[in-house]
Amino acid sequence: MEVLLDTITQTIAAYIWPLFRVASMLMVMVVFGAATTPARVRLLLAMAITFSIAPILPPVENVELFSLGAVFITAQQIIIGVAMGFVTQMVMQVFVLTGQIIGMQTSLGFASMVDPGSGQQTPVIGNFFLLLATLIFLAVDGHLLMIRMLVASFETLPISNQGLSLTSYRALADWGSYMFGAALTMSISAIIALLLVNLSFGVMTRAAPQLNIFSIGFPITMIGGLFILWLTLTPVMAHFDEVWSTAQLLLCDMLSLQCNADGLI
């Protein structure tokens, strides 16, 4: 039995190009793209997802696999996958920035540890909020929703030379300002509370100059910071729900998906 070369290359293309999009998203997405996740596990997961969804995907364009056009198609799949995973990274960075702001204001920013995701030294409070947000992300099945959006993206953004639009790139860049704004919104109550504590110490120093404010102010500020941190944990779930819903709407706009007001497809 003779098998045409075009049939072989078309079959390979039907699997290899979806694999690029899937693997690119897993490479950048939180949890799966972390440095603590072995590359072999990430690759096997990408291959398992690709072989599961490839039979139901739209037909791939008849482009020669070893050509310049195939290079452009491959680049588009990588960009789409990286953009999707990068959105989840920005969601996590909202909580990392919140922890860093609170840590610096409460004098708890001196303690630092290695971030398991980036390998960089970050304040412990930032790592604490990162782990908390990651657990919530997994608890609300955020990783499953990302895979669902990825599969749906092959319908709205089929495998071709056409990738994300310029409007999508602009929306992705503008979401960076929302990230900083959301982090400030979460930490503004702690900032105001610690400002009142410092103002109280200023009044005490003015009323009783004999008090050594440096010896008593530092430990009291740290104790007050821990108490404020405990109070800040109460609305974390509501903040995560709002930030994650906004991120889903961004993904829906980027991928041209039909989503409801909550961003769910």
Q: 3-state DSSP call for residue 265?
A: coil
> Cα separation of 86 and 16, whole Å?
22
Q: What is the full per-residue pLDDT of the chain (265 aa) written as tens digits?
A: 455 767 777 777 788 888 999 999 999 998 888 878 888 999 999 999 999 888 888 877 777 777 787 888 888 899 999 999 999 999 998 998 888 888 777 766 666 656 655 566 667 788 888 888 999 999 998 899 999 999 998 888 888 877 788 888 888 888 888 988 888 888 888 888 888 877 877 777 777 666 666 667 677 777 777 788 888 888 888 889 999 999 999 999 888 888 775 555 5
> Cα separation of 246 and 30, whole Å?
17
Q: What is the pTM of this model?
A: 0.83
In Å, what is the CA distance from 17 to each residue of 7, 40, 71, 75, 201? 16, 19, 10, 10, 62
Report residue 65: phi and psi, to 5°: -65, -35
Domain residue ranges in the chain = 1-255
